Structure 1
Amino acid sequence: MSTPSRAALHTRTPNIDIVDLRVKDPGEGEVLIRMGASGVCGSDRHVLDGEWKMPSPTVMGHEGAGVAVSVGAGVTSVTPGDHVILAWFAPCLKCQACAEGKTWVCTGSHSETGLLPNGTSAMTREDETVYPYLGIGSMSEYTLVPEQAAIAVPREVPFDVACLIGCSVATGFGAVVNDAAVPPGRSAVVIGAGGVGLSIIMSLHLAGATPIIAIDVTDEALELARSFGATHTFKANSDTARHVKEVTDMGADFAFEAIGRPASIAEMPGYLKRGGTAVVVGLPSGEHPVPIDALALAEHGQRLVGSNYGSTVPRRDFPLLASLYLSGKLPVDRLIKRRVPLEEVDTAFEALRTGAYGRSVIVF
């Protein structure tokens, strides 16, 4: 048995086709989800534009939230009717990393193959196998995921907010809280005021960091950054490092790069004081190496930290982020500037490519 679903399918061009496909019924340890909303994320754009290679054809989307429709044998943490946020990196819960509680670096996950833990795909189109992006495929009316990728949260959290918690918000929050462990009163600079950058800024504000400096190329993005807690904003140019050091005296305690641009990753140590920490959050395409002055990094006692999914443990962190939203401490809803139907997904990606500020969300 299977469920019909309309979905955004990517083959080998930058364009997306809206197609009819079928989603398998849940087997052991699996959950069938009716989607409520899907984020339109820069990671999806990397795939569409040929910068990252994924199994093809690909059902796009990895930031998702919806309702559990049915569950397979052995599922205990989710019941039909639960509202869930989807985790795009479903851990195997068996490898050494998972045993150590580091599920974000699981070595047994099938997520990057687009397959379920049993090695099969959840989706087919006629007689053809299609691959949900990162095992999620959230730009589909229905999807099927392993239990560990479906995290129940309160029904009061709107789907458009919940889907962003699943990736950009968890990544930004985790970079600040889990990876950098920013103490109150410390200074920070954030390069890039997109969805992840803004999530970093609001998390720094929540953590009590000050000053919080945002760097971007558009006035609209910087204005939004101020509304989320940035105390200072600067356009990216050759004088940016000087401006940062004027605000922070000797340089910032922490720097976060949220774009994935090799040049701005390389610039981070120049924004820092001696002993400061640079956190790589944005994901570069992988085609261009990042030139880092290792001698200066060592001489200045600076740290360079890689942040993968904000070291998020979804079962622990998603409910926390949902409660912070409901209490008004993380205004995730203000990230959303465009809500579109599935049929307008190409328009949403074009807004992403042109640097439009704020997030686009597909609503079902």
Structure 2
Amino acid sequence: MKAAVLKQIGDDKLDVRTDVATTAPGPDEVRVRIKAAGVCHSDVSAMNGALPALAPGVMGHEGAGEVLEVGSQVTELAPGDHVVLSFVPPCGRCAYCLGGQPNLCEVHTVAAFVSPRFEIGGEPAFGFGGCGAFAEEVVLPSAGANRVDADIPFEVAALIGCGVLTGVGAVLNTARVEPGSTVVVIGCGGVGISVIQGARLAGAAQLVAVDPVTEKHAAAKQFGATHATTPDGLAEVQNAVTGGRGFDYAIEVVGSAATIRAAYDATRRGGTAVIVGAGGPEQKVEFNAQELFINEKKILPSFYGSADPRRDTARMVNLWRAGRLDLEGMISRRIRLDDINEGLAALKSPSGALVRQIVTFD
């Protein structure tokens, strides 16, 4: 089958090959035919080493498709079911799952680094995030395939798997934004737009979008921002919106030391700074003990939107059906797998993908 392969960490392009195969599904695994996959900046971060990945391996982690085959112990899924992939499948039995933090479950995540589910040219290989959604088929744990109704477009379903659960979840699950709050979102790419939609859903009264690329400001307002500005203009907008006090919630969706520090600085005393951006280990953020003590600002990292994909996939679908989440509007461009490097280049350009590029397989 065809798949986009990262030959080695540090490569800036993927090799679209036709000699890739999946392994046979294990007892608790399923084989899925991928119908749509989102091009996420986390794929770029994995390629350059900022996020952990194994090479050679198949990239892509945000996808949706149709179940082709199930393992002998799988009872909750059947061939023909439509599913959304999750790169952090909860095992349902570990301390994290039982403690209400299934997004931190390590069972299947660790297995994804020791159990190759692809063969490339006859040699074992891994899928990024335990998925490998830039392939025509994948094999993954049944817990990583969340069933959705067959009338949901695959392109819409794919977005839920990463960007929407991460962004909307950061607002609803991690920050728990309260109605009438002031919110600033730093970074208006695909996940940032999901954060903006989440803050609108939560009832934010004033919602400021910050991005150095002015082309993204109109999109941010389209999805719910009341104001949009470049970083240089943030102080002025902050004064106008909060009287200089700072925002109740500042949500950072970039992953750099500078933007994390900016989010903290934009938060009011006693407010909450939420860190969604996936930064590399070289991004060091400095705070002094006095400011932490005096300001009592909460710093909340948000991994995968603190989501339970079993619960929150259905929640996002319900919100989309109710017209409260605009997922079709987040799709900026559709590409074929053969054009994946063109899509990655667009994502890495100064303007970046304004929302989400979708790889389609039909």
Task: Give the TM interval when normalised to the shorter protein.
Answer: over 0.9
State how 1:14-29 maps to structure 2 within 5 Å.
14-19=12-17, 20-29=19-28
Match of 1:58 in 2: 57
Aligned counterparts of 1:226 and 1:206: Cα–Cα separation in 2: 14
Match of 2:168 in 1: 173
Aligned counterparts of 2:20 and 2:106: Cα–Cα separation in 1: 30
Aligned counterparts of 1:179 and 1:51: Cα–Cα separation in 2: 23
1:113/1:134 contact within 8 Å kept:
no
State how 1:260-339 maps to structure 2 within 5 Å.
260-339=255-334
Match of 1:102 in 2: 101
Aligned amino acid, residue 177 of structure 1 = L
1:94: Cα distance to partner?
A: 2.9
Aligned counterparts of 2:156 and 2:29: Cα–Cα separation in 1: 24
Aligned amino acid, residue 117 of structure 2 = A
1:269: Cα distance to partner?
A: 2.1
- Which region of structure 1 is more displaced relative to structure 2, 294-303 or 317-326? 294-303
1:55/1:114 contact within 8 Å kept:
no
Match of 1:39 in 2: 38
Aligned counterparts of 2:52 and 2:315: Cα–Cα separation in 1: 33
Aligned match of 1:9 in 5, 17, 27?
5
1:200: Cα distance to partner?
A: 0.6
Aligned counterparts of 1:27 and 1:335: Cα–Cα separation in 2: 35
Q: CA RMSD in A?
A: 1.4
SS in 2 for 1:65: strand
Aligned counterparts of 2:50 and 2:133: Cα–Cα separation in 1: 20
1:54/1:112 contact within 8 Å kept:
no
Aligned match of 2:355 in 343, 353, 358?
358
State how 1:50-129 maps to structure 2 within 5 Å.
50-109=49-108, 111=109, 114-115=112-113, 119-129=114-124
Aligned amino acid, residue 15 of structure 2 = D
Deviation track 1:78-109 (CA, whole Å, cap 9, x = no partner) reads 11111100001123333211221311111323
1:112/1:134 contact within 8 Å kept:
no
1:35/1:67 contact within 8 Å kept:
yes
Aligned counterparts of 1:294 and 1:38: Cα–Cα separation in 2: 44
Deviation track 1:31-70 (CA, whole Å, cap 9, x = no partner) reads 1100011111111001222333421101000001000111
Aligned amino acid, residue 272 of structure 2 = T
2:253/2:275 contact within 8 Å kept:
yes
Within the alignment, does 1:235 sit opposite 2:234 as a pair?
A: no
1:211/1:248 contact within 8 Å kept:
no
1:112: Cα distance to partner?
A: 5.4
State how 1:161-200 maps to structure 2 within 5 Å.
161-200=156-195
Deviation track 1:128-183 (CA, whole Å, cap 9, x = no partner) reads 11110011000000000101000001112211111110001001111101111111
After the TM superposition, list the runs of 4 or more consecutive aligned residues in structure 1 that deviate by more than 4 angstroms. none
2:47/2:53 contact within 8 Å kept:
no
Aligned counterparts of 1:30 and 1:15: Cα–Cα separation in 2: 30
SS in 2 for 1:279: strand
Aligned counterparts of 1:120 and 1:279: Cα–Cα separation in 2: 33
Aligned amino acid, residue 306 of structure 1 = P
SS in 1 for 2:34: strand
Q: What TM-score, normalized to structure 2? A: 0.95
1:60/1:133 contact within 8 Å kept:
yes
1:323: Cα distance to partner?
A: 1.6
Aligned counterparts of 1:216 and 1:297: Cα–Cα separation in 2: 26
SS in 2 for 1:283: coil
Aligned counterparts of 1:97 and 1:286: Cα–Cα separation in 2: 24
Aligned amino acid, residue 14 of structure 1 = D
SS in 2 for 1:197: helix
Gap regions ≥5 residues in structure 2: none
SS in 2 for 1:31: strand
Aligned counterparts of 1:108 and 1:114: Cα–Cα separation in 2: 9
2:190/2:353 contact within 8 Å kept:
no
Aligned counterparts of 1:218 and 1:113: Cα–Cα separation in 2: 39
Aligned counterparts of 1:323 and 1:219: Cα–Cα separation in 2: 32
2:332/2:353 contact within 8 Å kept:
no
Aligned counterparts of 1:127 and 1:7: Cα–Cα separation in 2: 14
Aligned counterparts of 2:167 and 2:26: Cα–Cα separation in 1: 33
Q: What TM-score, normalized to structure 1? A: 0.94
1:112/1:133 contact within 8 Å kept:
no
Match of 1:210 in 2: 205
